[in-house]
Amino acid sequence: MITLTWVYVIAGVAFAAFAMFNLIDKANPRRFGNAAFWGLMAVSMWAGDLLGDFGNGLLVLALVAIAGFGGLGKTKADEVPEATKNQRAAKYGNGLFAIALVIPATALAGTFLFKQFPAYFDVKQVTLISLALGVLLALAVGHAWLRAAPALPLSQGRRLMDSVGWAAILPQMLASLGAVFALAGVGDVVGGVIQQAIPAGSLVGAVIAFGVGMALFTMIMGNAFAAFPVMVAAIGMPLLIKQYHGDPAIICAIGMLAGFCGTLMTPMAANFNLVPAALLELKDENAVVKMQIATAVPLLIVNIALIYFLAFR
């Protein structure tokens, strides 16, 4: 059966290649740091299940030590001159879009198709499996039609990977921090604090506390999933549902979306907010967060109003 393990093998190959290209690159003054960093990521992808929990923890500490103390650099090598790019673009024209769309198209088709064969594919992971397949297909098409040298995608991918740098593992790191928070019971303590802050006997006050609390706690945790159980236990269940007899489906569904408004406003949601700033090579790493605030705040108000007017009819 094809599971995520196969995708991890492919991801490991990619990270190993990023490490190798750095290792032999004399134009990058920190090439050993980069090579070690992506090399460790390859080890994690390939052998993470064999390392044990403590071993994986040590691997994380090594990653943080390399990145946290300035061990990562960027190369000047492998940059393709604009003139070459424009010349090639003129030659291949809009066919380039077709290759770019191979990945989403395969992800789309694979998601529906592979679900029909639960004996061969892990149905819970079909989209990620299809995504990996799409990458391989796009590379094959690129090799056949563009006559791209086999090393070109990896050396160019390495350049993009290094421009993202340590931000690439931030999402995974924050997910892990969430696990430590859960183990330490941080959520229950925060819930207790918030419960004390609500004025007694006010439905509007409770609804606002629920919505704003979802957004704020999501901003701290970087993830609405971590905030949700805490806020439901602190306000949603005891007050909105039990005391004021609100509709649980509406309170939960829209409460979660109030949390998503918080996700838009925090650097802690790294994969959505910091990673794109790195990918787009923005000067201000918080530019995406700042841009989203003017949509997130009005939308949060709308969500709170929706809960108030829909859930308590």
Interface with other proteins in residues 100-119 (CB under 8 A): 100, 103-104, 107-108, 111
Residues in region 281-310 near other proteins by CB under 8 A: 282-284, 287-288, 290-292, 294-295, 298-299, 302-303, 306, 310
Q: Which residue has the tokens 């629920």?
A: 210
Query: Per-residue string for binding with other proteins, 6-35, x by CB under 8 A?
Result: -xx-xx--xx-x------------------
Interaction between residue 212 and other proteins (CB under 8 A): no
Q: Indicate the residue among 186 and 198 with the shorter CB distance to other proteins.
A: 186
Residues 166-185 that bind other proteins (CB under 8 A): 166-181, 183-185
- Does 58 interact with other proteins (rule: CB under 8 A)? yes
Q: What are phi and psi of 30, to 5 degrees?
A: -110, 35
In whole angstroms, how far apart are CA 22 and each of 137, 152, 159, 275, 301?
A: 25, 14, 9, 21, 48
Helix ranges, the chain (H): 4-23, 31-68, 82-92, 95-114, 126-141, 151-164, 170-184, 186-197, 203-221, 224-231, 248-263, 270-279, 287-310
- Residue 264 interacting with other proteins (CB under 8 A): yes
3-state secondary structure of 52: helix
Measured in Å, how far apart are the chain's first and last C-alpha atoms? 50
- Select from 28-36, 195-203, 206-214, 268-276 the region that touches other proteins (CB under 8 A): 268-276
Q: Contacting other proteins (CB under 8 A), which of 35, 40, 42, 45?
A: 45
Task: Restricting to residues 243-262, name those near other proteins by CB under 8 A.
Answer: 248-250, 252-254, 256-257, 260
Binding flag, residue 240, other proteins (CB under 8 A): no
What is the Cα gyration radius of the chain?
Answer: 23
